[in-house]
Structure 1
């Protein structure tokens, strides 16, 4: 099994290859495979990119992210300006029913509320506003209220998992309780765990996914 020191070095090497990110401004702490990120960046998308890069590193079990977003004076926006830009961005996204979403901005953080029938719409709303200038974070509190619940969500999810070329579906078990899905089993990377969760959310009628999949390293990483 990879040591915490090895995982930390792999993370630092991964951050070096991220465009537009000064890796010297990001602190990395690893304890029992759990990574804590600290420091600051000058744009919210960079914060997301750093977190995504760390999750792709083999041996990482979880990420606690505490990176701050600090814009320079030339790029600061008022909450009113950010709110106006967010509403406008949502209006231009045909995927999201803008009339069902409420936008609130507090100290550069966007809070999304409302109710939507599909998980992909909820995720699309967040992606639409998180790249806006001046945004420090996005809190997605949009609720899911599906209009229909298919009779066999479990079968739909299993088929979706089997279609994924990047995923070993045999090691994943699916349990369904109403519109809530629980994923169990083992995969070989955090990336595969995320792919399984994404596949589950795409199934019609799913409002919540409890991802209890365990990340188990490949044999070559085991002593």
Structure 2
């Protein structure tokens, strides 16, 4: 098991290596495998890149984000400009259904509302607007309300896990309550945790996934 000092060094090396992380002014605090990130970034896109980079590092048990976005003067946009750009980005994304998602902007913070049938559509909407200039943060409040009956949801999730994350399939507890799925158990990495969650979200009939999986690094 890595010491906190080793884990911090690995995180800083990963941040320096990641091409989409442009600043080195990020504070990394590690205690018992729990990582806290502090500092100021120039865009929401870079903040997201930092979060993903840290999650790639083996040994990270939990992540606390205390990063703030402070836009350079040249990158600042009015809320109206951001809202218009977000609407166009959603319209041009082939994975986002037409007229289902409504963007709202307040002081650079972009909120998405609406309903879709699939989680991939909800995720695609966030990806479409996340990197827009002027955005300081994104709240994805889009709800997933599938038309498919959830009767065989648990069976389909197990089948998906057998295909996608076979090593973890027998170590997990999957609870289905209507269209809500709760995942419990232990996985070996954040990558495997994401894979199990992705398998659950990809199952027809699922509208909510509660991910209580623990990472045993």
Tell me the TM-score normalized by structure 2. 0.93
- Give the superposition deviation at 1:41: 1.8
| Residues 132-174 of structure 1: per-residue CA shift (max 9 Å, x gap) | 1111111011122221223211111111112126853232232
Name the structure 1 match of 2:179: 179
Q: Distance in 1 between matches of 2:21 and 2:96?
A: 31
Deviation above 3 Å: which 4+ runs of structure 1? 165-168
Name the structure 1 match of 2:30: 30
Q: Distance in 1 between matches of 2:131 and 2:149?
A: 33
Q: Distance in 2 between matches of 1:22 and 1:102?
A: 31
Name the structure 2 match of 1:114: 114
Name the structure 1 match of 2:132: 132
Provide closer, same or farther for how the CA distance between residues 23 and 93 of structure 1 changes in structure 2, counting only shifts above 3 A: closer
| Residues 42-69 of structure 1: per-residue CA shift (max 9 Å, x gap) | 2221111110111111111111112122
Structure 1, unaligned runs of 5 or more:
218-223
Please identify, of 159-168 and 176-185, the stretch whose mean Cα deviation from structure 2 is larger. Answer: 159-168
**RMSD of Structure 2 on Structure 1 (CA):** 1.6
Contact 1:114 1:141 survives alignment (8 Å): yes
Contact 1:100 1:116 survives alignment (8 Å): yes
Q: Distance in 2 between matches of 1:73 and 1:171?
A: 50
**Map 1:180-219 → 2, pairs under 5 A:** 180-217=180-217
- Give the superposition deviation at 1:91: 0.7
Q: Distance in 1 between matches of 2:53 and 2:171?
A: 24
Residues paired across the two proteins, number: 217
- Give the superposition deviation at 1:176: 1.0
Q: Distance in 1 between matches of 2:120 and 2:17?
A: 30
SS at match of 1:98: coil
Name the structure 1 match of 2:158: 158
SS at match of 1:162: helix
- Give the superposition deviation at 1:32: 2.1
Contact 2:41 2:69 survives alignment (8 Å): yes
Name the structure 2 match of 1:220: none
Note if 1:57 corresponds to 2:57.
Answer: yes
Structure 2, unaligned runs of 5 or more:
none
Contact 2:103 2:111 survives alignment (8 Å): yes
Contact 1:75 1:133 survives alignment (8 Å): yes
